[in-house]
Amino acid sequence: MCSSWVILAFCCLPQLCADQSLKPQIAAPQLAKNNPTLTTVALEKPFCMFDSSLYPNKSYVIYLYAMKESATAISSQVTNNSSKPLNSTFHQTSGRQLGPYKAALFNVPNCASPPKLADIGDANKVSDVLKQYLFRVGDDVTCLYDPNFLAVCNPPLASDTAYRFKYVLVDSTEGIMKDQTLWSDPIKTRRAQLPLKIDTWPGRRSGGMIVITSILSVLVFLLLAGFLASVSSAVM
């Protein structure tokens, strides 16, 4: 079995790819550097994941749910008793504290004709290729400060916090869930570095040393300015 859904699109036959034990995976380092960041996590889209659940003349979409690993959730279920996917928003879950919320909605990735990874080397195509392969959770700030926002909200994640993610296949014609992945393993965002721990390569000085150096530089400048002023006065 392939270890990554990005590779899945190439190394597995479509009829053999479906595996309900798969979980959302963090993007490979080759495709998303510095991932996770302080407020985002780039995930691989579910290529070939739901092919066995797709039927002709039906319309499908993918829902992405997110939840804090430490959330005091009553339930981690993302559907109701009628198999309808929950529309819980970021605000309704008190900022992910009470359970899963819907972070994204997008079309089912085309397993039969995925974008070419070779195009990543083309500066004109790399953005489009990565957008087709990856989804960045936490990449939208427009809905964060509107308590009445009821659409799909994908606000920045909290730093130094672990999250779990789940993909759900939804029959948009009937409005019901047809398939789903397991919850991902915990994925933790980066921790903000304190100024005293900033790496200032190549000198690798601490944040405190940077401040002291800056102050000394200013003092030296003022002394030189005063000295030059004195010399100018004497000459005059």
pLDDT tens column, 113-134 = 777 766 666 677 778 878 888 9
What pLDDT does residue 14 have? 34
Residues of the chain with pLDDT > 90, as a percent, come to 31
Contact partners, residue 189, CB within 8 Å, separation at least 6: 36, 37, 38, 39, 40, 41, 138, 157, 158, 159, 160, 161, 162, 163
**Is the pLDDT confidence value at 216 over 80?**
no
What pLDDT does residue 4 have? 41
**Is the pLDDT confidence value at 208 over 80?**
no
Q: How confident is the model at residue 95 (pLDDT cuts 50, 70, 90)?
A: low
What pLDDT does residue 224 have? 67
Q: How confident is the model at residue 23 (pLDDT cuts 50, 70, 90)?
A: very high
Question: Distance between CA 26 and CA 195 in Å, rounded?
Answer: 28
Domain boundaries, given as residue ranges, for the chain = 25-193
pLDDT tens column, 6-16 = 433 333 333 33
Lowest-pLDDT range, 8-12, 168-172, 223-227?
A: 8-12
**Is the pLDDT confidence value at 218 over 50?**
yes
What average pLDDT does the structure give for the chain?
Answer: 77
What pLDDT does residue 185 have? 93
- Comparing 213 with 10, the larger pLDDT belongs to 213
pTM over 0.75: no
Let me know: does 129 contact 119? Beta carbons within 8 Å: yes
What pLDDT does residue 125 have? 73
Out of 19-33, 42-56, 136-150, the most confident range is 42-56
Kindly state the average pLDDT of the residues 157-171.
Answer: 94
**Is the pLDDT confidence value at 193 over 90?**
no
Residues of the chain with pLDDT > 70, as a percent, come to 68
- Comparing 149 with 187, the larger pLDDT belongs to 187
Q: How confident is the model at residue 209 (pLDDT cuts 50, 70, 90)?
A: low
